[in-house]
C-alpha cells in the first residue's frame, strides 16, 4: 500500500514536471528553444510513481517522452534547459538536446540515437550489474511504437535468458507519432508479449500511482533476487502532441483526453485525503514557477556552447 508521504511526493514532483514542461513549450513558442521536446504531460504521475519504487542509484534509461524521469531523479532544471538551448551548463554539452540528458550522478543514462536502440543498451547495463553482483536494477522506459522494433525482441529475450536485473516499462499512450496502436500492433496488450520471453508481464493503469508503484516494486524485488526481468505496461495518456509544435490534425480525441488527466485526479486525491489543501497547492505552484523562472534566467545568461565541445568526449 502506498504511503501518504509517497503520494504527496509523487504529486509534488508531477506538478513541478507539468509546470516546467509547460514553460519549456512556451520558450519553444517564443523561439528561444527548438521545438524538439516530446511532452510527457499525462504520463508524469506514472513515471514518477515508477521511479519512487526504486532507489535513486538504480540506472535509468528512458525514451524521449517528457522530463518527469529527470525531475524525479533531481536533475537540475537549468541543466535540462541548457541542453535544449545549446548553452553552457547542460548535461550533454549541447550535443543531445533534451532527448539525451545524461546525468550520471543521478543515474540517468538517457536514450540511444534511435528509437528502441536503448533497449539493447539497457541489456548491456543489466549484464554489467549481474557480473558485478550489484544490488542495482536497470529501469528502462519506452513507448508502444518502440516495442515493435526488433531490438525489443532481442533485448527481452537475452535479458530473460540471462536473468538480468532489468525492468522494462512500456508506456503505451496509444500513439507512435500519428499512428494509433490499433493499426500498428496485433496484440491487445504489449505486456502479453512477456509470455513469449518467459518473463512476468503486467498491465497497470497510468492514472493509478498505487498500481504503478506496486508493479515496479514487485519487479524490482524479483530482479534483485536474481529472478530476472519483467515487462510492465503502463496504460498511459498523451495529453499533448507528439512534439512541442505538433498541430495534432490527425487526432480526434485531443480535447476530450484532457478529462482523463491523471494529475487532476491525483490533485483531488491528495486534497480528499487531507494531505494538502488548495492553498498549499497554490503556494507550491508559485514556488515551483519561481524555481523554473530562476532556471530560465540562468540559462539565458549562459554563453552558447563552444564549438570545440563538438570533439570532446569522443571515444572512436
Ligand atoms: C529507428 C527510428 N525510427 C523512427 C524514429 C522516429 N520516431 C521518433 S519517436 C517515434 C514514435 C515513438 O512512438 P512510441 O514508441 O509509441 O513512443 P511515444 O512517442 O508514444 O512516447 C518515431 C517513429 C526514430 N527516432 N528512430
What is 275-304 written as a DSSP string? SS-HHHHHHHHHHHHHHHHHHHHHHHTSPB
pLDDT, one tens digit per residue, over 77-97 is 999 999 999 999 999 888 888
For position 91, what pLDDT does the model report?
94
Q: 162 CA to middle of ligand 1, Å?
A: 28
For position 314, what pLDDT does the model report?
81
Q: 63 CA to middle of ligand 1, Å?
A: 9
Test site for ligand 1: of 151, 176, 182, most ligand atoms within 8 A of the Cβ: 176
Grade residue 309 by pLDDT with cuts at 50, 70 and 90.
confident
For the CA of 175, the closest atom of ligand 1 is 20
- Nearest CA to 145 out of 120, 119, 177 is that of 177
pTM beyond 0.95: the answer is yes
Scored b (16 or more CB within 10 A) or e, 43-72 reads bbbbbbbbbbbbeeebbbbbbbbbbbbbbb
91-100, 161-170, 173-182, range with the lowest pLDDT: 91-100
Give the rounded distance of the alpha carbon of 265 from its chain centre.
Answer: 19
Return phi, psi of residue 166, to 5°: -125, 140
For position 312, what pLDDT does the model report?
84
For position 113, what pLDDT does the model report?
86
Cβ proximity of 143 and 176 under 8 Å: yes
Residue 309 CA to residue 291 CA, distance in Å, equals 28
For position 316, what pLDDT does the model report?
75
For position 134, what pLDDT does the model report?
97
Q: Which residues contact 54 (CB under 8 A, 6 or more apart)?
A: 137, 139, 216, 220
pLDDT higher for 99 or 123?
123
Cβ proximity of 182 and 211 under 8 Å: no
Within 10 angstroms of residue 115's Cβ, the number of other Cβ atoms is 18
Which protein residue has the closest C-alpha to ligand 1 atom 19? 176
Note the residue count of the chain.
316
Considering Cα of 147, then 149, then 153, then 159, what sign does the dihedral take? negative
Lining residues, ligand 1, CB within 6 Å = 38, 63-65, 114-115, 143-146, 173, 175-177, 242
3-state SS assignment for residue 39: coil
Mean pLDDT of the chain: 96
Test site for ligand 1: of 145, 172, 183, 236, most ligand atoms within 8 A of the Cβ: 145
User: How many percent of the chain have pLDDT more than 70?
Assistant: 100
Q: Which residues contact 102 (CB under 8 A, 6 or more apart)?
A: 91, 92, 96, 108, 109, 110
User: How many percent of the chain have pLDDT more than 90?
Assistant: 90
Return phi, psi of residue 61, to 5°: -120, 140
Tell me: pLDDT of 242 over 80. Answer: yes
Beta-bridged to residue 110, according to DSSP, are none
Tell me: pLDDT of 253 over 90. Answer: no
Residue 12 CA to residue 280 CA, distance in Å, equals 11
pLDDT, one tens digit per residue, over 19-30 is 999 999 999 999
Tell me: pLDDT of 311 over 90. Answer: no
3-state SS assignment for residue 181: helix
Q: 38 CA to middle of ligand 1, Å?
A: 10
Calculate mean pLDDT across residues 115-128: 97
Residue 116 CA to residue 120 CA, distance in Å, equals 8
Cβ proximity of 40 and 47 under 8 Å: yes
Q: Does an H or E element contain 46, and which?
A: helix 44-52
Beta-bridged to residue 141, according to DSSP, are 169
Calculate mean pLDDT across residues 141-151: 98
For the CA of 146, the closest atom of ligand 1 is 15
Beta-bridged to residue 235, according to DSSP, are 172, 205
pLDDT, one tens digit per residue, over 179-199 is 999 999 999 999 999 999 999
Residue 119 CA to residue 140 CA, distance in Å, equals 7
Cβ proximity of 240 and 39 under 8 Å: yes
Grade residue 310 by pLDDT with cuts at 50, 70 and 90.
confident
Cβ proximity of 51 and 69 under 8 Å: yes
pLDDT, one tens digit per residue, over 38-73 is 999 999 999 999 999 999 999 999 989 999 999 999
Tell me: pLDDT of 255 over 90. Answer: no
Amino acid at each position: 500500500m502506498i504511503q501518504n508521504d509517497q503520494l504527496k511526493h509523487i504529486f509534488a514532483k508531477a506538478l513541478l514536471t507539468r509546470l516546467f514542461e509547460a514553460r519549456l513549450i512556451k520558450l519553444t513558442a517564443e523561439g528561444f528553444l527548438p521545438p524538439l521536446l516530446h511532452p510527457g504531460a499525462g504520463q508524469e504521475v506514472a513515471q514518477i510513481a515508477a521511479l519512487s519504487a526504486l532507489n535513486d542509484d538504480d540506472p535509468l534509461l528512458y525514451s524521449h517522452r517528457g522530463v518527469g524521469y529527470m525531475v524525479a531523479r533531481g536533475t537540475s532544471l537549468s541543466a535540462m534547459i541548457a541542453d535544449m538551448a545549446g548553452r553552457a551548463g547542460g548535461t550533454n554539452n549541447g550535443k543531445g538536446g533534451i532527448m539525451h540528458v545524461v546525468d550520471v550522478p543521478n543515474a540517468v543514462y538517457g536514450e540511444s540515437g534511435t528509437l528502441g536502440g536503448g533497449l539493447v543498451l539497457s541489456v548491456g547495463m543489466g549484464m554489467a550489474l549481474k557480473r558485478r553482483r550489484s544490488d542495482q536494477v536497470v529501469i528502462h522506459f519506452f513507448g508502444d511504437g518502440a516495442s515493435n522494433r526488433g531490438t525489443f525482441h532481442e533485448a527481452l529475450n537475452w535479458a530473460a535468458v540471462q536473468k538480468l536485473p532489468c525492468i522494462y516499462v512500456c508506456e503505451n499512450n496509444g500513439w507512435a507519432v500519428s499512428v494509433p496502436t490499433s493499426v500498428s500492433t496485433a496484440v491487445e496488450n504489449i505486456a502479453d508479449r512477456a509470455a513469449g520471453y518467459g518473463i512476468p508481464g503486467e498491465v497497470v493503469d497510468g492514472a493509478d500511482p498505487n498500481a504503478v508503484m506496486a508493479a515496479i516494486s514487485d519487479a524490482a524485488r524479483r530482479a534483485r533476487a536474481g529472478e530476472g526481468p519483467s515487462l510492465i505496461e503502463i496504460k498511459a495518456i498523451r495529453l499533448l502532441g507528439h512534439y512541442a509544435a505538433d498541430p495534432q490534425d490527425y487526432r480526434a480525441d485531443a480535447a476530450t483526453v484532457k478529462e482523463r488527466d491523471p494529475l487532476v485526479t491525483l490533485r483531488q486525491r491528495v486534497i480528499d485525503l487531507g494531505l494538502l489543501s488548495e492553498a498549499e497547492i497554490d503556494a507550491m505552484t508559485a514556488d515551483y514557477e519561481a524555481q523554473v523562472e530562476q532556471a530560465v534566467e540562468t540559462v539565458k545568461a549562459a554563453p552558447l556552447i563552444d564549438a570545440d565541445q563538438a570533439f570532446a568526449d569522443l571515444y572512436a
